[in-house]
Structure 1
Amino acid sequence: MDNSITIYVLSDSIGETGEQVARAAVSQFYPCKFEVRRFPYITSEDQIVEVFEEAVNEKSVIVYTIVIEKLKNYVVELSEKYNIPSIDLMTPALEALEKVFGYAPKRESGLIRRLDEKYFRKVDAVEFAVKYDDGKDARGIKKADIVLIGVSRTSKTPLSMYLAHKYYKVANVPLVPEVPIPKELFEIDNRRIFGLIANPFKLNEIRQERLKSLGLNNNANYASIDRINYELEYSKKIMEKLKCTVIDVSNKAVEETAGIVIEDMKRNFGENF
């Protein structure tokens, strides 16, 4: 008895899922000799014909993960014509989900790959925001899509993380009168820089709460109105020198501020800035 088989995996994407399922299934028939031949990115009937003309000359099975209706139907047609067993891995799952959702699937190839790419873009952006948070490394300024500047407690970090989850690489730089500002801020396109300011009394409340959470005296200079006004005046002068966009975040949620930043960036650099 011939205990060997060739499994042809056809896909309108990369075909990785089909190959994994094929290998998992054939392992249940061990010991046997098998070969898996993967044919990714199937986009035409001619490609499918070539596979079947090769497969008909040996003991074979066709496994396919094709969601494009026309191509899927053609595989079924040739499977009957050449009398080669074929397994449709996608249709049963799609039909079950269609019943639950109540509407038809998109039937677009490669969607999972695009989702994976977006996921890794988001991970990269979040890691970037953490690495270049609070002026840790001025080199991030030149690598960033967006740079946020402002005095302490103007929501620079929360805004950086929110924008990172929207796939943007953000660096943020605190403005402290006693600390020289990074020269890199003057070496990038100022349209990428956003200065954040806030009402001094609002900042006073936030800083007092911050000191309490740290178990410190809330009468410290950090939270005094005079100190806050001094810092804000200093920051505004820096923002004027940079000629950057200034946003008052006093009564804005992070989402609202992020919306302003994104719209401004799209206006200046296009949809895919």
Structure 2
Amino acid sequence: MQRMHLHLVSDSTGETLEMIAKAALAQFDNPDVVRHFWPMVRSRQHLDRIVPSLAASPGLVLFTLVNPETRARLEEHCRQLGLPAVPVLDAVTAALEVQLGEEAHGKPGRQHLMDDAYFRRVEAIHYTIAHDDGVGWEDWEEADILLAGVSRSSKTPTSIYLANRGYKVANIPLIMESPPPPALFGLRRPLVVGLTTAPERLVQVRRNRLLSLNEGTETSYVDSEKVREEVQFARRMFADNGWPVIDVTRRSIEETAAAVMRIMQERTDRPGEGGEDGEGAI
């Protein structure tokens, strides 16, 4: 397979550009790609400094530059070097201009402005970190979402991902020998979601966790029958309380979070109908 150089040129942090490139590359089988990342390119001088690198490692150039002069100069350099250059947001921005009936502002990094949404996201992250693993149950009513599940069912990473999307998330491990606080069953504001997984997969994840900590694996924590009982215990609790359930066995953290957000949106669209998925796993 031929190696390809991919240049990502952005006038902001480049986070959006990286996500687009990652999503597009995921459609190919193990492409041999060398990424060159050029963030915060906002001046002619800065752009001119990266041109030698474009010439030394010719390849595809993806860019998000809103300044017309900087953008035109990059496109001219690419023409001279014979490099394809793709403005990845142009089609979307143009479509939005038509639908919204106004022109885009053309200011770099507007999605990173420290507006109300930014501060809500920061607050959500602080809340989520402080309410991990059953801690701070007295404040659970302040949460947007509460994730419940047995140990190693991806509650914490999913919580952090959701927090970065602006949701206050608490999570609690369900332990057969230690009942959860009664507050869990009386929550009114938060959406409570149960996370479940295949016992066989859970044993594997737990075993790997113990090995990474240099701990022995001769424990009930990874006993197949004991784990199966834990999962059944959790699923009964989900069903008894009508909580929606998500099976994370074959889901990435992003996919699990997307499923949670979908349930959250459905709850918002149809208030009073939360928990309708409690009879089966998503």
Q: State yes or no: 1:193 paired with 2:166.
A: no
- In the TM superposition, residue 244 of structure 1 has moved relative to its aligned partner by 0.2
Of 105, 108, 131, which residue of structure 2 is paired with 1:107? 105
Q: Which structure 1 segments of 5+ residues have no match?
A: 1-92
Secondary structure at 1:149's aligned position in 2? Answer: strand
Alpha-carbon distance change, 252 to 114 in structure 1, aligned in 2, over 3 angstroms: closer
Match of 1:224 in 2: 223
State the Cα distance separating 1:120 from its structure 2 match.
2.3
Given the superposition, is the C-alpha separation of residues 106 and 190 from structure 1 closer, same or farther in structure 2, using an over 3 Å criterion?
closer
The aligned residue for residue 264 of structure 1 is 263
- C-alpha contact (below 8 Å) 1:129/1:164 kept by paired residues: yes
1:140 aligns with 2:139: yes
Which residue pairs with 1:28 in the alignment? Answer: none
Q: How does 1:113-262 map to 2 (within 5 A)?
A: 115-117=113-115, 118-189=117-188, 192-262=191-261
Residues of 2 paired with 1:160 and 1:196: CA distance? 12
Q: CA deviation at 1:115?
A: 2.4
Q: Which runs of 4+ in 1 moved over 6 A?
A: 101-105
1: CA distance between counterparts of 2:121 and 2:185? Answer: 28
SS in 2 for 1:116: coil
* Distance change (3 Å), C-alpha of 1:113 and 1:213: closer
Rounded Cα–Cα distance in structure 2 between residues aligned with 1:140 and 1:194: 17
Kindly state the Cα deviation for residue 146 of structure 1 after the two structures are TM-superposed.
0.6
- DSSP 3-state at the match of 1:171: strand
Q: What is the CA distance between 1:233 and its match in structure 2?
A: 1.6
Aligned length: 179
* Residue identity matched to 2:207: Q
Amino acid at match of 2:168: K
TM-score by length of 1: 0.59
Instruction: State the partner residue of 1:36.
Output: none
Amino acid at match of 1:96: E
CA offsets 1:216-261 (integer angstroms, 9 cap, x no match) = 1112111111211121121112112221001111111111111111
Are the aligned partners of 2:185 and 2:241 in contact in 1 as well (CA < 8 Å)? yes
Q: In the superposition, relative to structure 1, how do residues 119 and 223 fare at CA in structure 2: closer, same or farther (>3 Å)?
A: same
Amino acid at match of 2:69: A
* Structure 1, 148-157 or 229-238: larger mean CA deviation: 229-238
> CA separation in 2, counterparts of 1:237 and 1:190?
22
Question: Does the CA contact (< 8 Å) of 1:122 and 1:167 recur in 2?
Answer: yes
Q: Deviations over 1:117-150 (max 9, x none)?
A: 2332222111111100000110232111111000
C-alpha spacing 1:97/1:139, structure 2 compared with 1 (3 Å): farther
CA RMSD across the alignment: 2.8
Q: Is the Cα–Cα contact under 8 Å of residues 196 and 248 in structure 1 kept in the other structure?
A: yes
1:48-59 matches, within 5 Å, as: none
Q: Distance in 1 between matches of 2:224 and 2:111?
A: 52
Specify every segment of 5 or more residues in structure 2 that has no aligned partner in the other structure, as ranges.
Answer: 1-65, 76-86, 94-102, 271-282
Confirm or deny: 8 A CA contact 1:140 1:171 kept in the other structure: no
Partners of 2:155 and 2:247 in 1: CA distance: 12
3-state SS in 2 of match to 1:133? coil
How far apart, CA to CA, are the structure 1 residues paired with 2:70 and 2:128?
A: 37
One-letter code aligned to 1:115: L
Following TM superposition, by how much is the alpha carbon of 1:190 offset from its aligned partner in structure 2, in angstroms? 8.3
For the structure 1 residues 232 and 122, does the alpha-carbon distance in structure 2 shift closer, same or farther, using more than 3 Å as the test?
same
